[in-house]
Chains A and B, each alone.
Chain A
Amino acid sequence: MAKILLEMKNITKTFPGVKALDNVNLKVEEGEIHALVGENGAGKSTLMNVLSGIYPYGTYEGDIIYNGETCKFSTIKDSESRGIVIIHQELALVPEMTIGENMYLGNERGSKAKIDWVTTYSEADKYLKMVGLTESSKVLVKEIGTGKQQLVEIAKALAKNAKLLILDEPTSSLNEEDSRALLDLMLGFKKQGMTMIIITHKLNEVSYVADKITVVRDGSTIETIDNAGHDIDEDRIIKGMVGREITNRFPKREGVKIGDVNLEVSGWTVRHPLYPERTVVNNVSINVRKGEVVGIYGLMGAGRTELAMSIFGQSYGILTGGTLKLNGQEVRLKKSPTDAIKHKIAYVTEDRKGNGLILSQSIKVNTSLANLDSISNKTVIDKDREYQVAEEYRVKLKTKTPSVEQLVGNLSGGNQQKVLLAKWMFAEPEVLILDEPTRGIDVGAKYEIYCIINDLAAEGKSVIMISSELPEVLAMSDRIYIMNASRIVGEMKASEATQENIMAAILKSGRGD
């Protein structure tokens, strides 16, 4: 048996009112890749924050034994000096600085009074090479893509002499190709003896890189599964994550009549708002019928959100070609969401905190925001009516909250998503574009969101559901479009679609480039 590099023993961490971690145990052997999986809010990130000293010694119970010694980290600097380096999910790079400056930010070469730029850049270049980047370290971070920025983060960690590298969802903003490259890089590091902990939601990645998998649920470690053969079944992991066999993850939609084409775009072409030479949506033609749920499957960066937002009153990019028909009539929407809403189109964003909700306001205020006109005489708001409306949707969508006066910022992800849906349902659209409607919410809330989607279809609304979760797309859609590299590369009926032929459509289109 290999040497145990890290052992976290009986870790308990309490926040006012919540026990975030309850007697957690984690053992990591030297030279392995250890995956930490669990639903959102299960406590994975909290555990890593305890390890790295973000939650200092004394604010939690239990012991951290690293390299045979009990550690009492009180800052990140302490853990980093021992070689424990964490790379957070959100990139922490300053766009306006060079790669080299970023890598040594807070860890500058030379003396306090004078930074040694020669050493900085020559060392930076060395580490960049190790992660497979050919860029000079004097290039500004904003000039390289997200995939490369993620690699810079890793190079930055290496520059700190990392012995134990913790990667928190390193591929969440990467496309398939960059993700694969990053995972292979991890495997390469492993060969050189590095120990790594990876937190991820993508179970195929877990099975690919991890030697051991620890499942965290509700603040406790459930089990550690051995994956030396890299062949573990994903359902096996899910079972551990949710604590039961999931037999019915998707509610059935039955007896919904599919009507005429409601929305149709053809030849839709959109360019990037800042770099007009880049085409982000290329000659896309799609349609959706009344009572139909159309899935758009594609990987991150395929252009799905861009397509949706450009249909929604050109709220993204520069539209250079294409027509939009509503109920068979060609419509030219003005460049504003207002006009799209007037034409009964709704776009439910994937980024509910950034683009969707006002966290500092109540459920009531958020629910009515997109359709204030209907509860006011355009000037004065009928507050009683507003309250009734918010109540109505709270009951209808089963939003869990003491009252609709509650601030949205205090709700869980699933309930926030329901408020966002309520807001757009209240705008009375005929076409709803749902962008990743179940991102970052737990299995139970997902089921309820699927039920809402089914109800919308039953009411005769047209639903376009964008998702990067294949099982969800397969189970919820009547028809599926496959999008890759800003084009629609396939269309199939749900009854004919399988994981294999969808992935095949993507791979085939990839080869054409």
Chain B
Amino acid sequence: MKSVGATSYLKKNTMLIALVAVIIFFSIVTQGKILYAQNINNLISQNGYVFVLASGMLLCILTGGNIDLAVGSVVCFTGGIGAVMMQAKMPTFLAVLVMLAVGLAIGMFQGFWIAWVSVPPFIATLAGMYAFRGLANVVLGGYAVGINDTAFLNVFGGGADCYIPDFLNGKNLNMTCLVVGIIGTLIFVIMTLRGIAVNKKKGIVGSSTTSTVVKMVIIAALILWITYKLSQYKGIPTVLIWIAVVLLVYGYITTNTAIGRYFYAVGGNEKATRLSGVNTKKVYFIAYANMGLLAGLAGILTVARASSAQPTYGQGYEMDAIASCFIGGASAYGGVGKITGVIIGAALMGIINQGMSIMGISTNYQRAVKGIVLLVAVLVDVLSKKEKA
């Protein structure tokens, strides 16, 4: 009996286990360098855009394995517009608002063709990928545009001071960061335990309590450890706030809201969903409109992090987002996938990149490894499903 429980537990959490294994692997081969506070800080700052884009991409993929190829170009385009506006000394909040609005408008534009004219998403967004890359070049005049709006940089994770100040004046450690980490962990633990209690009361025979507790302990430990490491450095990078907000919001949307349910339903069986009285066109539209909005946010984070906008920014971002979703267990046919999976997928790719960079492996090899990781992750998924059948 016990062994059956253990194997099913392993299967369900393959990627979480892989993540832990990869962390251990790189801590050994980099002699612990990857665990330095600064490296963890960099890991988060460098990969902020992946978490944001992958959250939106998950919704598109859920609707039936549909992807948005345009996000990289949209990141560049919106970022470029913002940079130009700030260079012209326009108010920061206006620039931010315009970047988000342009992203949303592009998403709605693409969503319109996909939802109401039935243009295949691959083609509609491939068109967007070309068009907005070109337009980004036009906006930037082909040059890099620097950003020195410090308010913007501080809030969105660029420059030297993009950290939450330590209100509690810790000496060696950033106390604010630690406190936030502890409170966050407590909330997480309480919510999980409450969930278990509720399930028990209702007599739901779901995943076993032990496996949930084990998972909870691992995740709680990770949160605590990360915040502890960050407090050793400069505290909470502002970009982490944005990542956390996006993940929490989309985690909630996908699990608790009606529209979230519809993304899964449409991907699972579009016809059945339509015949159940759901406006499926609207569901596609919302998925892509939302993707545009998040691409706008990712554009903000990207140009803030670099303190400039360049015509080459955002290249390949769409693939990072897509890969994170699939590594995180989303189905290429739609209807299956979770935000927690996205977190694991994005983190796994980020850590592999970072680890190899520290080891001094060239980016070309890094890409090759990324490709293999994606293939292996999906392979594990496919094979484990085959066994079941």
Stretch with Cβ within 8 A of A (4 or more), from B11-19, B163-171, B266-274, B289-297: B266-274
B336 touches A336 (CB 8 A): no
Q: List 6 A-B contacts (CB under 8 A).
A: A336-B279, A355-B269, A379-B258, A379-B259, A405-B204, A423-B276
Residues of B within 8 A of A357 (CB): 269, 272
Interface assignment of B198: CB less than 8 Å from any CB of chain A = yes
A361 touches B257 (CB 8 A): no
Give Cα distance in the complex from A360 to B259, angstroms. Answer: 18
Q: Which A residues fall within an 8 A CB radius of B? A: 312, 315, 336-338, 340-342, 347, 349, 354-361, 365, 369-370, 372-373, 376, 378-381, 383-384, 387, 402-403, 405, 423, 427
B277 touches A338 (CB 8 A): yes
A384 touches B202 (CB 8 A): yes
Interface assignment of B275: CB less than 8 Å from any CB of chain A = yes
B257 touches A380 (CB 8 A): yes
B205 touches A338 (CB 8 A): no
A360 touches B335 (CB 8 A): yes
Interface assignment of B208: CB less than 8 Å from any CB of chain A = no
Tell whether A370 pairs with B264 under 8 Å between CB atoms, given A360-B336, A384-B198, A405-B204: no
B256 touches A369 (CB 8 A): no
B261 touches A365 (CB 8 A): yes
B205 touches A403 (CB 8 A): yes
Give Cα distance in the complex from A376 to B198, angstroms. Answer: 19
A365 touches B265 (CB 8 A): yes
Give Cα distance in the complex from A361 to B202, angstroms. Answer: 20
Quick one: which of A312, A355, A369, A403 contacts B265, CB cutoff 8 A?
Answer: A369
Give Cα distance in the complex from A315 to B256, angstroms. Answer: 29
Residues of B within 8 A of A337 (CB): 274-277
Closest B residue by C-beta to A391: B202
Residues of A within 8 A of B265 (CB): 358, 361, 365, 369
Give Cα distance in the complex from A243 to B331, angstroms. Answer: 43
Q: Interface range on chain B: under 10, 10 to 19, 20 to 34, or 35 or more?
A: 20 to 34
B277 touches A370 (CB 8 A): yes
Residues of A within 8 A of B144 (CB): none
Interface assignment of B319: CB less than 8 Å from any CB of chain A = no
Residues of A within 8 A of B276 (CB): 337, 341, 369-370, 423
Interface assignment of B43: CB less than 8 Å from any CB of chain A = no
B181 to chain A, nearest CB (A): 28
Residues of B within 8 A of A338 (CB): 277-279
Interface assignment of B360: CB less than 8 Å from any CB of chain A = no
When A and B form their complex, which 6 residue pairs have the shortest distance between CB atoms, in order from nearest?
A: A358-B268, A370-B276, A338-B277, A341-B277, A358-B269, A403-B205
Residues of A within 8 A of B257 (CB): 376, 379-381
Q: How many A-B residue pairs have CB under 8 A?
A: 88
Closest B residue by C-beta to A369: B276
Residues of A within 8 A of B204 (CB): 387, 403, 405
Give Cα distance in the complex from A365 to B259, angstroms. Answer: 13
Give Cα distance in the complex from A494 to B282, angstroms. Answer: 45
Quick one: which of B259, B261, B272 contacts A356, CB cutoff 8 A?
Answer: B272
Closest B residue by C-beta to A354: B271
Residues of A within 8 A of B273 (CB): 358, 369
A405 touches B264 (CB 8 A): no
A419 to chain B, nearest CB (A): 11
Give Cα distance in the complex from A357 to B270, angstroms. Answer: 10
B271 touches A355 (CB 8 A): yes
Residues of A within 8 A of B206 (CB): 403, 405
Closest A residue by C-beta to B333: A360
A381 touches B256 (CB 8 A): yes
Residues of B within 8 A of A349 (CB): 272, 275
Give Cα distance in the complex from A361 to B275, angstroms. Answer: 16
A63 to chain B, nearest CB (A): 28
Closest A residue by C-beta to B279: A338
Closest A residue by C-beta to B336: A360
B177-223 interface with A by 8 A CB criterion: 198, 202, 204-206
Give Cα distance in the complex from A277 to B258, angstroms. Answer: 40
A188 to chain B, nearest CB (A): 40
Give Cα distance in the complex from A136 to B274, angstroms. Answer: 40
B277 touches A360 (CB 8 A): no
Residue among A337, A365, A373 with max Cβ neighbours from chain B (10 Å)? A337
Residue among B258, B277, B278, B279 with max Cβ neighbours from chain A (10 Å)? B277
Tell whether A361 pairs with B277 under 8 Å between CB atoms, given A380-B256, A381-B256: no
A303 to chain B, nearest CB (A): 18
Residue among A358, A384, A423 with max Cβ neighbours from chain B (10 Å)? A358
A469 to chain B, nearest CB (A): 23
B11 to chain A, nearest CB (A): 15
A336 touches B205 (CB 8 A): no
B271 touches A361 (CB 8 A): no
Residue among B205, B268, B273 with max Cβ neighbours from chain A (10 Å)? B268
